[in-house]
Amino acid sequence: MINIAVLGYGTVGSGVVSLLDKNAASISGKIGQDIKVKYILDIRDFGGDPFGSLFVKTFDTIVNDPQIAIVVEAIGGTGAALEYTRRSLEAGKSVITSNKELVAEHGSDLIKLAMSKEVNYLFEASVGGGIPLIRPLAECLSANIISEIYGILNGTTNYILTSMKKDNASFDDALFKAQQEGYAESDPTADIEGHDTCRKICILASLAFGRHIYPNEAPTTGISNVSISDMLYAKSLGYEIKLLGRAKAVGDKVAVYVAPHLISTLHTLSGINYVMNGVMIRGNAVGSVLLCGPGAGKMPTASAVAGDIMNAAKHLKARKWIGWSDADKGFAADPELLDSAWYIRTDAPRDKIERVFGSVIFANDGLSDADRISNAKNAENTFITSVINGSKVDELLSHGIFAKSKFRVLGDH
């Protein structure tokens, strides 16, 4: 029997405890022994909870118990979660987490610590919820040289963008629903402003390119500036708007960023809706691989955490190589150097736009009559530029064209 402790009994922690209980027979059949939740640590009281007898209020009980082989950190954040993770690893216990903030900020240190103690630090659930992503990238695709990873990595924002477009929901109603479903972070700003996506793409980039990319090295824009009009203009041009995290090799560096993109309706990612996430990985042997599935939610996340618990239980005496090393300064390239076409919405007149940008594709021609009339009243133009880098587009806009919206258009992949 393997004894484990679960730190934090929120959405993720309670999902893990319930899954381990529900599928206990199948899980022990697969790994050849039982997994027993011996403790649940939470400072809150959960009167009447079926696992009430397992609750403890002090971490010392867990870290000082030599029977505990695996600790599941489901506290979140980088305060107590960091301290308890370090102390668990130092005590020779493997740690499993869904905490992307902790992995993105402190991953290389914690991986190093786990290695020195010959235990595992596993974080499958930190990116893409229930989608198998970390292990396929670290193991199945490890023979490839990865050139690019990009994808929809946040269920809450994808849910909001989809509901606004398909269900005519307001931003606030869609956010409320995502919160009710347990998808959103406790502070939804991290979802809406792209920080959650940023942490996840940094983890994937670190794993794929072997060096730690920190969130403050990845310029991040969220969805608060995406309007319904942008979605309609994009649609008239044959595109959806999705929040993407992207990591692309640039020589021996990697450019990582998060921003809303226009994606062709012919691209598979454009059909990834609501809470689903989808990640495209491009390797020099495999070509393009798309992994998609539920990117958030209690039980999909519990599925990934429980898979890691089973993996750690099977490898209690063997290190799994899932990780990366520290990066030299300057490993992160400036994403402004990346070329793309750009979507611009502006009040500037067409003749001026064409004078400054040359040949462009205007969206207005594809709109319905009603939209065109209201557009004409607003004197608004939207267009797609030729393929230029981020510095060039800003330089051209500085010729008196104020962009109310400016998004990259994902190229052909």
Residues forming contacts to ligand HSE in the complex (CB under 6 A) are 129, 154-156, 183-185, 191, 196, 295-296
Dist CA 178 CA 188 (whole Å): 10
What minimum distance in Å lies between the beta carbon of 183 and ligand HSE?
4
Cβ proximity to ligand HSE: between 184 and 313 the closer is: 184
Instruction: Please state the closest distance from residue 273 (CB atom) to ligand HSE, in A.
Output: 14
Our CB check for ligand HSE shows the closer of 122 and 397 to be 122
As measured in angstroms, the least distance from the Cβ of 191 to ligand HSE is 5
In contact, 393 and 406? CB cutoff 8 Å: yes
CA triple 364-368-372, angle to 5 deg: 50
List the one residue out of 340, 337, 342, 350 whose CA is nearest residue 401. 350
Instruction: Look up 200 and say whether it is catalytic.
Output: yes
Residue 309 Rama label (left phi>0; alpha psi -120 to 50; beta): alpha
Residue 143 phi, psi (nearest 5):
-80, -10
Q: What is the dihedral of CA 184, 189, 194, 195, to 10 degrees?
A: -90
Residue with smaller CB distance to ligand HSE, 7 or 12: 12
Amino acid residing at 208: A
Q: Which is nearer to ligand HSE, 194 or 295 (CB)?
A: 295
Burial 88-118 (b: 16+ CB within 10 A, else e): bbebebbbbbbbbbbbbbbbbebbebbeebe
Listing DSSP states for 13-71 in one string gives HHHHHHHHHHTHHHHHHHHSS-EEEEEEE-SS--TT-TTGGGEES-HHHHHT-TTEEEE
Given the complex with ligand HSE, which of 185 and 217 has the nearer CB atom?
185
Residue type, 265: T
Which one of the listed residues 38, 93, 200, 320 is annotated catalytic?
200
- Closest separation in Å from C-beta 129 to ligand HSE: 5
Length of the chain: 413
| Nearest-CB residue for ligand HSE | 156
Q: Least distance in Å: CB of 157 to ligand HSE?
A: 7
Residues noted as catalytic: 200
